[in-house]
Amino acid sequence: MKKALYILAGLFILAQFFRPARVVEPVDPAADLIALTHPSAEVEHLLRVACYDCHSGQPRYPWYAYITPVNWWLDRHIKEGREHFDATTWGRVENWSRDHQAKEVMEMMEKKEMPLESYTWTHADAKLDDAQRQLISDFFSSKRDGSWDVEKARRKAAGVLK
Ligand code: HEC
């Protein structure tokens, strides 16, 4: 029993040498969502405390992010999160992509699926109430130009989409 514990502890220590690279990207004022769109102070605050840790190139890493395997778990959230909605590249993508991301954010707010629940265990300030969800949703709604649907119609017409 004791031997098994030593082996486990040894493996845990060894595992600490295997860490994912941290995401630390410079803020590009010409592409960052907040820099470009000037949301109200409250919306900006909500985006920073509830979304940017997984949906931007500037996540704030908590102390436990040093521990393998927690760090791999967080890294996946950031990679997967940014594939769907990325505040850091907001100004660099096509109109239809921005429009689509805005639509998805509104959907997430309505379904209360974001931020991930596990995130709110350690980030109490990211727990959003209905009024805050509405604020975020209204903000993204005001940024929509319908180009996502136009693009969809275009692809449909071209036979790419059924
Ligand atoms: C702890 C990390 C984390 C936080 C914080 C977080 N997200 Fe996400 N988000 C993810 C991950 C991971 C995915 C992709 C997988 C999934 O949909 O669960 C995702 C997916 C999304 C999507 C795409 C959904 C879809 O259907 O494709 C949107 C939009 C989104 N998040 C918006 C937000 C907004 C807005 C906030 C802040 C209010 C937020 N997220 C906070 C991790 C996070």
Task: Domain of residue 51: give its range.
Answer: 20-157
Contact between 135 and 46 under an 8 Å Cβ cutoff? The reply is: yes
- 22-70 tens-digit pLDDT: 999 999 999 999 999 999 999 999 999 999 999 999 999 999 999 999 9
Q: What pLDDT does 22 receive? A: 95
Q: Is residue 11 part of a domain?
A: no
For atom 20 of ligand 1, the residue with the nearest CA is 81
How many separate domains does the chain show? 1
Whether the per-residue pLDDT at 71 is higher than 90: the answer is yes
Distance in Å, CA 114 to ligand 1 centroid: 5
Contact between 108 and 84 under an 8 Å Cβ cutoff? The reply is: no
For atom 1 of ligand 1, the residue with the nearest CA is 119
> Residue ranges of the alpha helices (H) in the chain?
2-15, 33-37, 41-50, 52-55, 70-84, 95-111, 117-122, 130-143, 147-157
Atom from ligand 1 closest to the CA of residue 107: 29
Q: Which residues line ligand 1 (CB under 6 A)?
A: 50-51, 53-55, 77, 80-81, 84-85, 104-105, 108, 114-116, 119
Q: Is residue 4 part of a domain?
A: no
Q: What pLDDT does 4 receive? A: 95
89: Cβ contacts below 8 Å, ≥ 6 apart: 31, 57
Q: Is residue 59 part of a domain?
A: yes
- pLDDT band per the 50, 70, 90 thresholds, residue 161: low
Q: Is residue 5 part of a domain?
A: no
Q: Is residue 162 part of a domain?
A: no
Q: Is residue 15 part of a domain?
A: no
